Amino acid sequence: MAKLRAGIIGTGFMGKAHLEALRRLPGVEVVAVAASRPEKAEAFARAHRVPRAHADALALLADPEVDVMHNCTPNHLHFVLNQAALQAGKHVLSEKPLALTSTETAALVKLAERSGLVAAVNHCYRYYPLVQQARAMVQGGVLGRLYLVHGAYLQDWLLYRQDFNWRVDPARGGALRALGDIGSHWCDLAQYVTGRRITHVSGQLATVHATRLQPQAETATFRSADTRGASEVPVTTEDYAAALLRFEDGASGFFAVSQVSAGHKNGLSFEVDCAEGALRWHQEDPNVLWIGRRDRHSEIVTKDPALLDGQARAYVHYPAGHPEGYPDVFTNLFRNVYTHITDRSSPADFPTFREAHQVARLLEAISLSHREGRWVEVPLD
């Protein structure tokens, strides 16, 4: 069978993560890379032994040797590059958000579905083994009727006023920052685990720092800025957001996201409360699933392929006692995508453009609810 050939656009943190995950997949070769400047692409290609460095993104999309485009660029480039890739006949694996607005995401859904190409979004947290275990238990009815879903995604990398990054700029990061950046992951995970769509929301957003100090040089995500010569700029995007939720079967929920919560680095967590017990999972301790009970001792389930549901076992790479983590979930998601490209009869278990579009509609509904002070129904289209 011929190899599938991938091209990566963007050489930052995510570009490297995609490259490393792809190299663990049999039958896949990374053949090209592009970046914001030709010299960045060339340096990345040399350092990571990628055969070709293109002068720009459009040159990579014109490369006939590239079958699949991985979009690891800043948010404001997602729409134009995802669109261009589909028009060039490339399968797409895009970083989230899919685009900056639901108008843009809707256009990409239509284009992807007309094209017949595989189009996926990197909501990677679905693919931890114990998230899969939680999903199998909840959707299999092991714990009875679903009552409540709640959780958070907390970070501290924008805690101080001198913290700055392109994500703070709505022209580059989007009008929704904490919601768009990390709230999108939480909402995708809540709906994926429960198998239920969020239908109504009541939201609250807050900006902690009305102004921030923008450094003269670009600052990478999660890195501290050099404030020498920095200019003071107004901030319009939210540092914090929370929402009450209603699910399609009548279950309730709530969540909070923050990029200004000291001591929290990548604190994604969810709990699902059901009639016969509860489940809780935390991304920073991903090999453990807590099962809460009322009438007997609560339980701790650890990652052991011999004891997990068959659905979850398919996402385990190593034996019990050998921890698995963040790089593994990229490999799990990419494996599903590339398998489906090769064999369309295989399950399409990956976040689609349509699912990412619905998350975009959901986040915009939370923002509208905040502005108008009322519950808002999430449009379904």
The tens-digit pLDDT sequence of the chain (381 residues) is: 479 999 999 999 999 999 999 999 999 999 999 999 999 999 999 999 999 999 999 999 999 999 999 999 999 999 999 999 999 999 999 999 999 999 999 999 999 999 999 999 999 999 999 999 999 999 999 999 999 999 999 999 999 999 999 999 999 999 999 999 999 999 999 999 999 999 999 999 999 999 999 987 666 665 666 666 789 999 999 999 999 999 999 999 999 999 999 999 999 999 999 999 999 999 999 999 999 999 999 999 999 999 999 999 999 999 999 999 999 999 999 999 999 999 999 989 999 999 999 999 999 999 999 999 999 999 998
Provide long-range contacts, Cβ within 8 A and 24+ apart, for 14-21: 14/72, 14/95, 14/122, 15/44, 15/70, 15/72, 16/48, 17/327, 17/330, 18/70, 18/72, 18/93, 18/122, 18/330, 18/334, 19/48, 19/50, 20/327, 20/330, 21/327, 21/330, 21/331, 21/334
Q: Residue 62: its pLDDT value, please?
A: 98
